[in-house]
Structure 1
Amino acid sequence: MEPRINLMTTGGKAVKALSSVGAYLAKASVEASLLHLIYFRVSQINGCAFCLDMHAKDARAEGETEQRLHMIAGWREAIVYTDRERAAFAWAEALTTIHQHEVPDAVYEELRNHFSEEEIVDLTIAVTTINSYNRINIAFRTPGGHYQPGMFAAKAN
């Protein structure tokens, strides 16, 4: 499959604008390790090869285990995630699949048991941002497999 548009060369201004949200999230109230898992899980749901490659490599580079990455699609049955992570995964999945149904009250209430309001806002921004990146990369057929950990970190700051 051939890429349609190289976003990094053609869409520099748009990427810079979206990257400012990423720079905010890098300093946000939610721990980076959880954000990597959220980005990875949402990218699985959306089928974004580029983002799966990127976030798996970044998560590993920052100490995430292979086991937790491999099991994330089955997080409900896996014992390797905390209750806080599970609440965040449920929130991320509900927001990502919002076109199918509304976000259940039970998911929100469980989230509130583990996150402050500021953290909930940051999680929501993180989920909507990775969904945006997924849709852009899928639309432009950005190939996955060549990402190097931290490749965009300097551009985000």
Structure 2
Amino acid sequence: MNRIKIHELQPAAYEAMFGLEKYLGTTDLPGQLVEMIKTRASQINGCAYCIQMHSKAAQKLNETTERLLALSGWKESPLFTAQERSVLALTEEVTRISNHGVSDVVYEEVSKHFTEVQMAQLIMVITGINAWNRIAIATQAQ
């Protein structure tokens, strides 16, 4: 069955989503970290379209294949820094928000590595990719 194309039926909604993406491009978060967030959330959500897109984008920013392959098992991998681990934990908790929210432990760990402004930016990156994942999965984006 062919699914709807939201970008054709509701272009204003897509324009608003791209407005968020444009804003996220102005943050001072490292591009590799942003793509890591987007890839990990997409893995959790099972969005193959977004996994491919953001893995490729990460590689263009010099992210290694080894780290991308280890991303789904980051907790056991020695390849990620304490800062990256804090962000990946936040990504997982925000993406799975209905499980138990965002724990104080994860929140405090992120706050050791980022300013409050950067933390707000991280939450917006995670929120944005989760919205894109849901659109792509619901419409079976190719």
> Any gaps of 5 or more consecutive residues in structure 1?
144-157
TM-score by length of 2: 0.95
The structure carrying a bigger helix percent of its residues is: 2
How far, CA to CA, are the matches of 2:81 and 2:10 in structure 1? 38
Alpha carbons of structure 1 residues 3 and 41: separation in structure 2 relative to 1, 3 Å: farther
The SS at the match of 2:23 is helix
How far, CA to CA, are the matches of 1:114 and 1:94 in structure 2? 17
How far, CA to CA, are the matches of 2:43 and 2:127 in structure 1? 14
Could you list the runs of 4 or more consecutive aligned residues of structure 1 that deviate by over 2 angstroms after TM superposition? Answer: 6-12
**Offset from partner CA, 1:49-101 (integer Å, 9 cap, x none):** 11111101111112111001000011111111111110000001010101111
Match of 1:131 in 2: 130
CA contact (8 A) 1:43 1:130 kept: yes
**Offset from partner CA, 1:8-66 (integer Å, 9 cap, x none):** 33332211111111111111021111000000000000001111111011111121110
> Any gaps of 5 or more consecutive residues in structure 2?
none
How far, CA to CA, are the matches of 1:94 and 1:137 in structure 2? 21
The CA RMSD measured in Å over matched residues stands at: 1.1
How many corresponding residue pairs?
A: 142
TM-score by length of 1: 0.86
CA contact (8 A) 1:3 1:142 kept: no
